[in-house]
Chains A and B, each alone.
Chain A
Amino acid sequence: MSDPIPLLETPLAPLHRELGARMVPFAGYLMPVQYPAGIIAEHAHTRSKASLFDVSHMGQGRLSGDDVPHALETLVPGDIMGLAPGAIRYTLLMNERGGIRDDLMVTNAGDHLFLVVNAAHRGDDFAHLRASIGRRCLVEELGEWGLLALQGPAAAAVMARLAPGSESMRFMTARSLTVAGIPCFVTRSGYTGEDGFELSVAATEALALARALLAEPEVRPAGLGARDSLRLEAGLCLHGADIDDATTPVEADLTWVIGRRRREHGGFPGADVVQRQLAAGVERRRIGLILHDRVPARAHAVITAADGRPIGTVTSGGFSPTLGQPIAMGYVETAQAVPGTAVRVMVRDVGREAVVTAMPFVPHRYHKGS
Chain B
Amino acid sequence: MSDLRFTSEHEWIRVEGDTGTVGISAYAQGQLGDMVFVDLPKVGLRVEKGAEMAVAESVKAASEVYAPAGGEVIEVNAALNTNPAAVNEDPYGRGWFLRLRLSDPGELATLMDQSTYEAYVKGLG
Contacts and interface: CB of A to CB of B under 8 A. Distances in A.
Contacts of A310: none
B37 A294 contact: yes
Contact of A225 (B36, B60, B81, B84): B60
Interface in A211-250: 225, 228-229
B34 A296 contact: no
Interface in A181-231: 225, 228-229
A43 B61 CA distance: 16
Interface in A35-84: 38-41, 43
B81 A348 contact: no
A294 B59 CA distance: 11
Contacts of A326: 36-37
Contacts of A273: none
B75 interface: no
Nearest to B60: A225
Nearest to B34: A40
A142 interface: no
Contacts of B60: 33, 39, 225, 228, 318
Contact of B59 (A295, A318, A348): A318
Interface residues of B, number: 16
B108 interface: no
Contacts of A229: 59
B55 A319 contact: no
Contact of B36 (A22, A228, A294): A294
A301 to B, nearest CB: 10
Nearest to B88: A38
B56 to A, nearest CB: 11
Contact of B61 (A34, A40, A41, A298): A298
Contacts of A321: 59
Contacts, number: 45
Given A39-B59, A225-B59, A319-B59, A296 B36 contact: yes
B33 A225 contact: yes
Contacts of B55: 348
A39 B34 contact: yes
A42 to B, nearest CB: 10
Nearest to B81: A294
Interface string B37-77: 10100000000000000010111111000000000000000
A319 B33 contact: no
A198 to B, nearest CB: 23
A244 to B, nearest CB: 20
B8 to A, nearest CB: 16
Contacts of B61: 298
A38 B33 contact: yes
B37 A319 contact: yes
Contacts of B36: 294, 296, 319, 326
B33 A296 contact: no
Interface string B77-99: 00001001000100000000000
Contacts of B88: 38
A348 B39 contact: yes
Nearest to A40: B34
A300 B118 CA distance: 36
B81 A296 contact: no
A39 B34 CA distance: 7
A96 to B, nearest CB: 35
State the 3 A-B residue pairs at the shortest beta-carbon distance, nearest first. A319-B36, A40-B34, A39-B59
Given A39-B33, A296-B37, A326-B36, 7 more contacts: A39-B58, A40-B34, A43-B59, A294-B84, A295-B37, A295-B57, A296-B62
